[in-house]
Structures are given as C-alpha cells and as structure tokens.
Amino acid sequence: MCGIVGYIGKRQAYDVLIKGLKRLEYRGYDSAGIALLSDNNLNVYKTKGKVSDLEAFAQGKDIGGTMGIAHTRWATHGEPNQVNAHPHYSQSERIALIHNGIIENYSELKEGLLMHGFTFQSQTDTEVLVQLIEYVKNEHAVDLATAVQLALNEVVGAYAIAVIDLDNPDVIVAARKGSPLIIGIGDDEYFLASDATPIVEYTNKVIYLDEEEIASLDLINGLHVKTISNVEKTPQIKQLEMTISQLEKSGYPHFMLKEIFEQPRTLTDCMRGRVNISENNISIAGIIDHKDKFLNAKRIIISACGTSWHAGLIGKYVIEEFTRIPVEVEYSSEFRYRNPVIDRDDVVMVISQSGETADTLAAAQLAKSKGAFLFGICNVVGSSIARTTHAGCYTHVGPEIGVASTKAFTAQVTVLTMIALVLGKEKGTISEEMYLSILKEMSRIPEKIISILKQDNLIAELSKIFTYAQHFIYLGRGFNYPVALEGALKLKEISYIHAEGYPAAEMKHGPIALISQEMPVVVIAPMGGVVYDKVVSNIQEVKARKGKIIAVVSENDRTVREMADHVITIPETDECLYPILTSIPLQLLAYHIAVIKGCDVDQPRNLAKSVTVE
C-alpha cells in the first residue's frame, strides 16, 4: 500500500510527480504530498484526501524545481490527516522522506531520538526514520547515501523509501526491503516509483531494486546501487513491456468497467502461445520445464489472498479433477505464521496479481526456505513474488488499476486450468477426448465472454432493483462455489453491501435462517455436471422462504429460469470452464450496484490495490 514516486532531471518535477501519483493512487488515497527541491529551498506540500486535493492545495504556491518526491498514502500508523501525510521533514527541515511499509521498531527508535532532543509532529513511523537519517548524517558527518545506509541498519520492518536533502541537491537516495521500488533511467534523468506506471511514458529502461538495496540517483555521478551492508551492486537494466494506452480509461467511466470489458482480449493474451488449437496442444513453459517436480509432487499447496485465493480454490478443483494430485489452498496470512508442514516433495504455488502482497511474498519465502519447489502465477512482470519463485507463469492481462480485481481473476483461473490440463495429459490422468474437448472450449471462451458482456444493460437495470439491500447471499456448488465467494467479495468491497458466499448445500446448516423476502440470493447454476440438480433443490429451499433469486444460468436452461425472480444467461461450456464465464455477470452486478449507490468504484474506502503490509 502507499504509492511513492520520485524524479530528478531537467523537467519540472511537479508535473511528473503529480501525474505519477495519479497513476499510483490505486495503492492508497487517504492523503497525498510532495516535496520539491529548488534554489536551496525544500518545499513540502501535503494534504488529507486525494491527489486532486493536493493539486488544489499546491495552487499558487512555489512548485518549481527539477527534483522531488511524492506520496499517496494508505494509513497504517496515525489517522489519515495532513500532519501524518508524507513527505516528512527531518527536524532541521533540510531532509524530506517518503515511505511505503511499516517500521516495526519505530517506538524504540523514537525513544532514542527523543533523548537526543528530536521532536515529532506526527504519529507516523516514517517521521522517526527521517529523523534517524538526519541524526546519523550529522553524528557521523557523512553524505546522504551513507546516512541512509547506516540508519537502515537500525530499522526492523518493511520499507520502500525515497529521500532528498538540501545538502545533496543532485541526488535522490532510495531503498527497499519488503515493498517494491522501480527506477527508470532516462537521458540525464531518473525516475523512481512503486510500480512502472508513472515511468512508462518517459522511458522503458528500468531497474527493479532488490531486497535491502539502496540506490543513489545522482545527476553528477550516475546511478549507484549498494546493499545496506555496503556491498556495491551492478544494476541490471530491464526493458518495460507496458504501454501508456494500457493505463488510460479509454472512454470508460471507470477502470473497473474497462477491465471487465477487456476480458475477451486479456484471456486471448493469456492463452496466446499456450493454447494451440491447430496442434491440439496446451503448453506452459514454466510447467513443462519443471514437469518432474509436479509429476513427482506428493501434493500441491496453493497460497494466496483475497480474490487470488478464490482463484486458487478453483485451481484446487481443476487440478485435483484432472491430475489426481492432492491440492491444499491456504490463506497466505495464516500459512506464513502457523509453522505449516512443507517438505521437499511439495510444490507450493503462489498466486498474486500484483506480485507484491506482503503475506503471499512471506509465504513464498517460507516455502522456499523449507525446500519446496516454488511456482508463481503473477500478473506484474518483475514483481517481488515473480522474482522469488523458482519458476512461474504470467497472466499477461496488462496493468489492473481498478482496486477490485476482475480481469486478473479470470486469467488466474485460466492459467490454473491450463496447468491442470498440461499436467493431466503428462500424467495420463485425463482422457484424450476430454483434453481435446476442453482445449477446444477454452479457445471459445473469449467469444463467449463477448456475448455475456452484451447483457451489460440488462444487468445495469437489474441492479437498480437491489440497491435497497443491506445483505446479499451468493450460492454455488462444485467449480462455481469459489465463484460465489468471489461474487460476494466483489459486491462488498465496492458497494459496501454485506455479502456472503456459501457452497449452496451449506445453507441449511445455518445461513438459511437469514432468508426472508428482503434477501437477494444470487445462485450460480449453469447446466451440466453432477451438482446442477442439487443446486435446483437448493433454490427450492430459498424460494420456500421467499428469498429473491437472481440466477446465473446456461442459455438453454428451463428449470431454474422458471424458479428464479431474475435471470442472467451465459453460453454453455465445459463444466470446469464455467467459473471464467459465471464470474463476469457477478462483476457487472457488483459494479452497477456500486455505481447506482454513488460509491467510488475504482477506489473503494479503506482499500488499496497492492497490500504490501501484513
């Protein structure tokens, strides 16, 4: 959480930084701030609220300068107000710092600094760090980079920081541990940011800073990277693959809607070079290259958070179905702290859109340390999780900016399904006929999504009926049980309506007590498979208690159509592929209800896109 951006070069820093903050706003939007260095002045402007509030606040003020740093905050320590906003000044107001992460030993450090006469304005852990850097710099009479390095040796916690100093006006010092940081290299200019989105329009040459590395972005001496133990490193320059058009709304009112509508293309991209219909083959390099690890695995453990965890649960259903390899699905936040049993014959799969989720990263590191083979499914290329794993595959859906995950989810499910089919074929646990039939169906998924998206207006109309609701229940079974969980999560996170997802048959073990004529119940009931008839019975149970049924059904369905109050149809497909289709109307339903309720769909309250704190 929190977005950080920095610039040093020949452009006006303010413009670069504000634009960069807008791109990073999905990471946090409680408060925003900027520090600009020019003509021996270090100006800091900050305010509660969004980047647009910061722009209004900075109007008429001195915003000149060709170097600066800026921050958009998701509050951890201290309420989101102006004082706690970043950047933070040091005591002398000669150093300013921005930070993404948590300094765990901040109160201990603060006590020491108080004894040396430092005073504090804010309740943040970050202010402690900037004061510590100033203290070390003066005490040891060292330059800024050395002061940062020495200070970070005292710090326990996670950070991506950027620091500027009136005494070192040609350099930005940046460092990371546990939070992401990317440096962009232009002609006589440098950029830094939490992800590549603020950088892509200026340069495609980037360096992904590694754990415990410190970079000096120095206009006179060039770029230097060292570790916090003071070992010089040679930075590896990588090419960015992102394009600027991927970062714009392209006429859609919200990124979320754009991303929902992008899914026919993103899933085509995700399957490109993997699902080969002319050769009747599915291939994933990261799996094929390490197939022995998978084929000899006693079990696969999937670790993820939130929506990615829901994708993992679908992964369990498909991988077990087609490979007969047992799969366990873990919440990363639990897995990392409960001393799990992991051994060398296990394959641990981590799933993360951002590739930066702190709990999933820690789960990955834990699994690796115990000798498991670690496989990643990430969207963001070069992200921390992608770089931690032994092997992996990218989902290739482009930047996902809406805080509620949509296109990344369907791609994660697609990748997991492809993995199940590749392994099933290698193991001989799937029949040739079944393999070919699913392969063919997979290639049709994009066109089937196009037909679902045509019902957008119908779903928007339907949504108007349900804005009264305080609660929703989502029911599904088999492959579609995790879709019920995901549908409920989408609704609650963007519309603030309480929603719960259940395996449909679990209703009668408690939740059925909640059903009344006020309660909308979304039932995911596509035809096919052994559970369809069972879901029909579960719908009867809800109807008998006057619940309002919104059913997601196959186009040819007659039975559920007659029972439901409202129906959304999806084209037929293979049973294991339904989650990719059934999740789309639920994304649209959540989106439209939230829009009608006037909620901030792309930046829902209290949330941030990339959860880099635990």
**Cross-strand bridge partners of residue 222:** 218
Nearer to ligand F6R, 131 or 360 (CB): 360
Nearer to ligand F6R, 168 or 360 (CB): 360
Residue with the two structure tokens 């084209």: 571
Nearer to ligand F6R, 321 or 493 (CB): 493
Is 258 in a helix, a strand, or coil? helix
Residue with the two structure tokens 């050769």: 279
User: Pairing mode, if any, of strands 41-48 and 67-73?
Assistant: unpaired
Residue 504 amino acid letter: A
Minimum distance of ligand F6R from residue 332's CB (angstroms): 8
Nearer to ligand F6R, 124 or 307 (CB): 307
Residue 527 amino acid letter: M
CA 558 to centroid of chain Cα atoms: 39
Using a 10 angstrom Cβ sphere, with 0-12 exposed, 13-18 middle and 19 or more buried, the burial of residue 220 is exposed
- Measured from the Cβ of residue 107, the count of other Cβ atoms closer than 10 Å reads 11
Nearer to ligand F6R, 168 or 354 (CB): 354
Contact criterion met (CB below 8 Å) for 329 and 313:
yes
User: Pairing mode, if any, of strands 190-193 and 213-218?
Assistant: unpaired
Q: Which among 576, 603, 598, 570 has a CA at the least distance from the CA of 263?
A: 570
Is 399 in a helix, a strand, or coil? coil
Residue with the two structure tokens 């495609």: 204
Contact criterion met (CB below 8 Å) for 166 and 156:
no
Nearer to ligand F6R, 55 or 486 (CB): 486
Using CB under 6 A as the criterion, which residues of the chain lie in contact with ligand F6R when the complex forms? 305-308, 352-354, 357, 360, 404-405, 489, 493, 610-611
**Cross-strand bridge partners of residue 182:** 193, 208
C-alpha span between 412 and 532 (Å, rounded): 25
Residue with the two structure tokens 């300094």: 103
| Torsion, CA 294, CA 295, CA 300, CA 306, rounded to 10 | 50
Q: Which among 539, 593, 544, 585 has a CA at the least distance from the CA of 562?
A: 539
Minimum distance of ligand F6R from residue 289's CB (angstroms): 24
C-alpha span between 96 and 162 (Å, rounded): 8
Q: Which residue is nearest to ligand F6R (CB)?
A: 306
C-alpha span between 87 and 163 (Å, rounded): 9
Minimum distance of ligand F6R from residue 52's CB (angstroms): 23
Contact criterion met (CB below 8 Å) for 68 and 34:
yes
Nearer to ligand F6R, 47 or 405 (CB): 405
Residue with the two structure tokens 């200026």: 202
Nearer to ligand F6R, 323 or 587 (CB): 587
Minimum distance of ligand F6R from residue 450's CB (angstroms): 23
C-alpha span between 196 and 446 (Å, rounded): 28
Calculate the alpha carbon distances from 314 to 225, 270, 308 in Å. 42, 17, 10
User: Pairing mode, if any, of strands 205-208 and 182-185?
Assistant: antiparallel
Nearer to ligand F6R, 151 or 611 (CB): 611
**Catalytic residue numbers?**
2, 609
Contact criterion met (CB below 8 Å) for 271 and 380:
no
Tokens in use for 177?
């541990």
What lies within 8 Å, CB to CB, of 530 at 6+ separation is 478
Minimum distance of ligand F6R from residue 309's CB (angstroms): 7
Minimum distance of ligand F6R from residue 208's CB (angstroms): 16
Nearer to ligand F6R, 67 or 304 (CB): 304
